[in-house]
């Protein structure tokens, strides 16, 4: 039977849909995948909702439904393209679009939208959504959830492995070879989100392809150390973050002291360095003995970022999850197919050592076909 995973992260670059197959012996196969971009108006509205945190309840309701429609239609499109019947799909795991992630204080929450009733209705497939909330109810951060999938798919009993997912935000999974040692996983800080913002403001591009523009700049050590002073980087684990912290206002407040003396490309180079160094600091602190670092997420395409990581982390080796048999673009969406598979089989989807939850729980709400 097939399971479908759907993911749309903080980058808002589109909705990733992965059709996967899990067999009863636990083996996993990616059958097909694609990214579906947001129509311009919906993209603008979601951005307004997330970045400016300005929307009426009416608009929030409309965006929730429109996203559900886009996700449902995208799934149907991919299934038709690959001649797979909807009735052959056991379940869809839809992460949804995070509009607010606030896993702290007395009333922690993480809210995702993209109406799952609409997805189930449009596809006729059982849909699972709201994966993060039960983990939070059990005392966890609700994030990151992908390390459990990384463990299932990528761990080895002969070598420690580190997976870094560089989406809008970056997260790490540390998969020790020894079963006695717990898997660790947390957000290391920004991934592409500040890079996308800065190149958009300066050059009007949605992202800096291959980091080519950043590579023309000069890293400002002064700006870098100011950025690295952010307390999130030294906060103890478990921890998770999002655009609620690493957003344009955060960057502007840091830049206000420097921008007069810095060329725009120097800022971009420094932001790449911030992503690379914040990832590297966490690798050194939590996984000092790791030898190979496997990158996934859109950041795997940023050649300049990868070269910075390689230089900073020498003699560790930087490669991508392609080496482990899964293309870096489809790891996160595949993770939500796996989480759906876990939920349907009444198996826990969270790792308490990662999210900080008091116990493991079956995640998600089920919207039957
Ligand atoms: N060719 C490329 N060069 C540099 N960066 C890229 C490239 N392709 C994708 N990206 C980056 O990856 C981001 C999308 O990554 P993704 O893993 O989908 O993040 P998210 O989970 O936040 O949606 C884009 O916004 C862009 O910054
Ligand atoms: Mg994406």
Ligand 1 atom nearest to 12, measured from its CA: 23
Q: Assign 259 a pLDDT band (cuts: 50, 70, 90).
A: low
pLDDT for 54 equals 76
Percent of the chain whose pLDDT exceeds 90: 91
Structural domain harbouring 121: 2-143+329-367
> Which of helix, strand or coil describes residue 101?
strand
Question: What pTM was estimated for this model as a whole?
Answer: 0.95
pLDDT in tens, 94-139: 999 999 989 988 999 999 999 999 999 999 999 999 999 999 999 9
Q: Examine the domain organization and report whether 172 and 70 are in the same domain.
A: no
Q: Examine the domain organization and report whether 158 and 30 are in the same domain.
A: no
Q: Examine the domain organization and report whether 316 and 336 are in the same domain.
A: no
Q: Examine the domain organization and report whether 291 and 340 are in the same domain.
A: no
pLDDT for 25 equals 78
CATH of the domain at 342: 3.30.420.40
Q: Examine the domain organization and report whether 345 and 299 are in the same domain.
A: no
Q: Examine the domain organization and report whether 187 and 263 are in the same domain.
A: yes
Nearest residue to 82 (alpha-carbon basis) of 126, 31, 21, 127: 31
Q: Examine the domain organization and report whether 252 and 353 are in the same domain.
A: no
Ligand 1 atom nearest to 208, measured from its CA: 4
pLDDT in tens, 215-225: 999 999 999 99
Q: Examine the domain organization and report whether 203 and 308 are in the same domain.
A: yes
pLDDT over 90 (residue 286): yes
Rg (Cα) of the chain, in Å, rounded? 20
Q: Tokens 């909807």 map to which residue?
A: 86
Mean pLDDT of the chain: 95
pLDDT in tens, 37-89: 999 999 999 998 987 777 889 999 999 999 999 999 999 999 999 999 999 99
Q: Which of 291, 309, 324 is the last residue of a domain?
A: 324
Task: Report residues whose beta carbon is within 6 angstroms of any ligand 1 atom.
Answer: 9-11, 13, 167-168, 192, 195-196, 207-211, 297-299, 301-302, 332
Q: Examine the domain organization and report whether 92 and 206 are in the same domain.
A: no
Mean pLDDT of 130-149: 96
Which residues, 6 or more positions from 258, have their beta carbon under 8 angstroms from its beta carbon? 220, 222, 223, 226
CA atoms of 33 and 19, how far apart (whole Å): 6
pLDDT for 55 equals 83
Q: Whose CA is nearest to atom 14 of ligand 1?
A: 298
Q: Examine the domain organization and report whether 248 and 193 are in the same domain.
A: yes
How many structural domains does the chain have? 2
Q: Examine the domain organization and report whether 150 and 293 are in the same domain.
A: yes
Q: Whose CA is nearest to atom 25 of ligand 1?
A: 11
pLDDT in tens, 13-44: 999 999 999 887 778 999 999 999 999 999 99
Q: Examine the domain organization and report whether 313 and 346 are in the same domain.
A: no
Q: How far is the CA of 192 from the centre of ligand 1 (A)?
A: 7
What Cα–Cα distance (Å) separates residue 172 from each residue in 103, 133, 164, 219, 271? Answer: 18, 21, 5, 24, 19
pLDDT over 90 (residue 149): yes
Phi-psi region of 156 (alpha: psi -120 to 50; beta: other; left: phi over 0): beta
Q: Whose CA is nearest to atom 5 of ligand 1?
A: 302
- Choose one of 298, 306, 321 to mutate for the ligand 1 pocket test, by most ligand atoms within 8 angstroms of C-beta: 298
């Amino acid at each position: 039977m097939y399971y479908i995973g759907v993911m749309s992260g903080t980058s808002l670059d589109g909705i990733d849909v992965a059709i996967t197959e899990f067999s009863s012996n636990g083996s996993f196969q990616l059958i097909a995948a694609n990214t579906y971009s947001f129509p311009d108006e919906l993209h603008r509205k979601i951005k307004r909702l997330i970045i400016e945190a300005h929307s009426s309840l009416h608009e929030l309701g409309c965006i929730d439904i429109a996203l559900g429609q886009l996700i449902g239609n995208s799934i149907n499109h991919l299934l038709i393209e690959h001649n797979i019947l909807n009735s052959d799909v056991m379940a869809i795991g839809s992460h949804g679009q995070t509009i607010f992630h606030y896993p702290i204080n007395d009333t922690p929450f993480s809210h995702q939208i993209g109406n799952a009733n609409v997805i189930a209705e449009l596809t006729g497939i059982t849909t699972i959504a709201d994966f993060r909330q039960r983990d939070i109810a059990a005392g966890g951060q609700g994030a990151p959830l992908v390390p459990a999938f990384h463990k299932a798919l990528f761990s080895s009993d002969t070598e420690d492995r580190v997976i870094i997912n560089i989406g809008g935000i970056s997260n790490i999974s540390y998969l020790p070879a020894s079963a006695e040692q717990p898997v660790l996983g947390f957000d290391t800080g920004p991934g592409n989100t500040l890079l996308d913002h800065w190149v958009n403001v300066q050059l009007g591009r949605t992202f800096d392809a291959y980091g080519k523009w950043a590579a023309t700049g000069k890293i400002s050590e002064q700006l870098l150390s100011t950025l690295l002073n952010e307390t999130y980087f030294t906060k103890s684990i478990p921890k998770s973050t999002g655009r609620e912290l690493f957003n344009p206002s955060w960057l502007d407040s840091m830049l206000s002291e420097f921008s007069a003396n810095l060329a725009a490309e120097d800022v971009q180079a420094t932001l790449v360095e911030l992503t690379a160094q914040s990832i590297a600091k966490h690798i050194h602190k939590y996984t000092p003995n790791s030898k190979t670092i496997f990158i996934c997420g859109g950041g795997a395409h940023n050649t300049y970022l990868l070269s910075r990581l390689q230089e900073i982390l020498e003699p560790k080796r930087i490669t991508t999850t392609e080496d482990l048999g899964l293309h870096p673009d489809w790891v996160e969406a595949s993770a939500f197919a796996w989480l759906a598979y876990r939920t349907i089989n009444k198996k826990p989807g969270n790792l308490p050592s990662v999210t900080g939850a008091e116990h493991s729980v079956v995640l998600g709400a089920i919207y039957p076909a």
